[in-house]
């Protein structure tokens, strides 16, 4: 079969030069960095990072709020020939130390309080530098590194995502993955140089990071925002003249319940969603709140960035559809033997093409499970991501999500590993074993339920809850913890997770 060559791509740091030199690129508070400033700052930060890391190919991590440094890191690390490891600012010490150790990071850029929280768990080989020192390097006025000459397949970033059976795993993304993802999104969203994009999602997520990259690809400006309340989002839209806003379903629920001045709501031209499906009622509320905005429901997975989007013209008539493949993605619906499913026949979503990541960092076993040869009918061939998600394709080629094969809990736009919650609970020393699962929740998408068999009983409930608050980020906290004297097991002696969840759901709905 003739293979289609990957579309051309540039080193990802060249995005700092996509816009006109005097055009706004980054809006933080009242500070405006233009594309000329962005390019110069990326060069100076790249020079500083290279000196700190010791040489090309090393991993450098950043763990912070949406500072200027956090926004420049994806480009600066790439310009220096380094590999960026962004860390979710919501994570706590146990998850961060795992990411630093697993990635082999030589450098962590963060603030003093975060660094202190790691204690003795920080890997000895990972040096720490203060955010203020790195920010000073950006403003140093010194000579920065020139644009890089990286090849499309060179590794540019490792993004850590939760897996259903353990700690976060690092997805390896190349310059081509990131560049073509930026180009794809900018094209189907029709972002233009006069657009202003509000970045409310964590930059450690592929979706959040792409808000930077796709905006700069289009020569437009992005305004990163760490918000505490929905009101902060409303104010930021008005302050920056925001035209584009991305979110996850729980955020949209909060935003449509907020008080939007008509002139502020009218600024928004496009609303994009991923991290969970929009319900028809929520879509109706979004259309009523933002009457001038197009709505773009999307589906994606970190291993292939993004797979599908629904054209805004089809949202009213197909509110539950995932849409069709984004540019550069080939999406197939396959039977277990790799053959293509018929229209309306459930099958596994398989993503082929140049957006497919390079696998999991130093994890050949899990890479082989998810990254497998493309089905024979694939135009691109090569390696594909077998998502584990069941979908249907109708006669018009529109896809609809049916279900997820793994046990991941999708809560507040985050993918949470049940095993990670269970391991944290057992590590408290207060219980023998635990089972975590998700249940539908109107605001979160799914709420986490934790069933435990304790050593002393419910009198340790406060101690267990306190331990989980110390060791797990807020989005991983169980909504309910239930104590049991015994837990059912299957014939192999393993915990019967299906029975435990079914029994809980049966009681709740009875």
Q: What is the pLDDT of residue 379?
A: 94
Specify the pTM: 0.86
The CATH superfamily assigned to 409-509 is ANL, C-terminal domain (3.30.300.30)
Q: What is the pLDDT of residue 278?
A: 85
Say yes or no: do domains 1-169 and 227-406 share a fold: yes
Task: Fold for 227-406, please state it.
Answer: Rossmann fold (3.40.50)
pLDDT tens string 484-497:
988 887 665 667 88
The CATH architecture assigned to 1-169 reads 3-Layer(aba) Sandwich (3.40)
d(CA 244, CA 500): 43
Q: What are the tokens at 58?
A: 């090393």
User: Based on the number of CB atoms within 10 Å of its own CB, is 453 exposed (0-12), middle (13-18) or buried (19 or more)?
Assistant: middle
**Which of 5-9, 10-14, 76-80, 134-138 is predicted least confidently?**
5-9
d(CA 476, CA 91): 10
pLDDT tens string 412-442:
888 788 878 988 898 898 988 889 999 999 8
State yes or no: pLDDT of 1 exceeds 50.
no
C-alpha separations of 195 from 10, 133, 270, 296, 411 in Å: 23, 32, 10, 16, 30
Residue 16, CA atoms < 13 Å, CB-side half-sphere: 28
Report the chain's mean pLDDT, rounded to a whole number. Answer: 92
d(CA 483, CA 476): 18
Q: What is the pLDDT of residue 502?
A: 87
pLDDT tens string 266-288:
999 999 998 777 888 889 999 99
Q: Taking a C-beta distance cutoff of 8 angstroms, is the pair 56, 148 a contact?
A: no
Q: What are the structural domain ranges in the chain?
A: 1-169, 227-406, 409-509
pLDDT tens string 207-247:
999 999 999 999 999 999 999 899 999 999 999 999 999 99
In the chain, % of residues over pLDDT 70:
96
pLDDT tens string 349-382:
999 999 999 999 999 999 999 999 999 999 999 9
């Amino acid at each position: 079969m003739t293979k289609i060559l990957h579309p051309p791509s540039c080193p990802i740091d060249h995005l700092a030069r996509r816009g006109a030199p005097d055009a706004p690129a980054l809006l933080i508070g009242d500070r405006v960095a233009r594309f000329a400033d962005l390019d110069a700052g990326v060069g100076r930060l790249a020079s500083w990072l290279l000196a700190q890391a010791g040489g090309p190919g090393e991993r450098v991590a950043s763990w912070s709020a949406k500072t200027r440094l956090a926004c420049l890191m994806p480009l600066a690390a790439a310009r220096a020939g380094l590999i960026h490891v962004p860390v979710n600012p919501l994570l706590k010490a146990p998850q961060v130390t795992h990411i630093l150790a697993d990635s082999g990071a030589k450098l962590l850029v963060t603030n003093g309080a975060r660094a202190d929280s790691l204690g003795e768990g920080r890997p000895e080989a990972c040096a720490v530098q203060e955010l203020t020192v790195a920010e000073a390097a950006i403003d140093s006025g010194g000579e920065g590194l020139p644009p890089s000459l990286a090849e499309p397949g060179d590794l540019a970033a490792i993004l850590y995502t939760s897996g259903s059976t353990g700690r976060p795993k690092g997805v390896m993304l190349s310059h081509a993955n990131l560049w073509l993802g930026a180009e794809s999104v900018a094209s189907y969203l029709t972002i233009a140089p006069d657009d202003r994009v509000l970045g409310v999602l964590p930059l450690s997520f592929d979706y959040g990071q792409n808000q930077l990259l796709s905006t700069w690809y289009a020569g437009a400006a992005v305004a990163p925002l760490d918000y505490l309340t929905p009101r902060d989002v409303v104010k930021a839209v008005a302050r920056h003249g925001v035209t584009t806003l991305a979110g996850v379903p729980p955020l949209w629920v909060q935003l449509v319940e907020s008080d939007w001045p008509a002139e502020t709501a009218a600024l928004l031209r496009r609303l994009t969603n991923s991290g969970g499906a929009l319900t028809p009622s929520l879509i109706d509320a979004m259309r009523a709140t933002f009457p001038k905005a197009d709505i773009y429901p999307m589906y994606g997975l970190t291993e292939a960035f993004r797979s599908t989007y629904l054209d805004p013209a089809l949202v009213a008539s197909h509110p539950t559809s995932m849409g069709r493949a984004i540019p550069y993605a080939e999406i197939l619906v396959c039977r277990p033997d790799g053959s293509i499913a018929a229209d309306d026949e459930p099958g596994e979503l398989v993503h082929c093409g140049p957006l497919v990541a390079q696998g999991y960092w130093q994890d050949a076993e899990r890479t082989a499970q998810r990254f497998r040869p493309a089905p024979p009918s694939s135009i691109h061939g090569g390696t594909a991501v077998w998502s584990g998600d069941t979908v249907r394709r109708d006669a018009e080629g529109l896809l609809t999500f049916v279900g997820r094969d793994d046990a991941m809990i999708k809560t507040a736009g985050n993918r949470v590993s049940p095993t990670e919650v269970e391991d944290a609970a057992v590590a408290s020393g207060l219980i023998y074993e635990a089972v975590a699962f998700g249940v539908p929740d109107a605001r979160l998408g799914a709420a986490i339920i934790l069933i435990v068999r304790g050593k002393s009983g419910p009198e340790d409930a406060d101690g267990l809850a306190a331990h989980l608050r110390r060791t797990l980020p807020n989005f991983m906290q169980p909504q309910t913890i239930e104590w049991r004297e015994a837990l059912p097991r299957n014939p192999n002696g393993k915990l019967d997770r299906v029975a435990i969840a079914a029994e809980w759901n049966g009681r709740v709905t009875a």
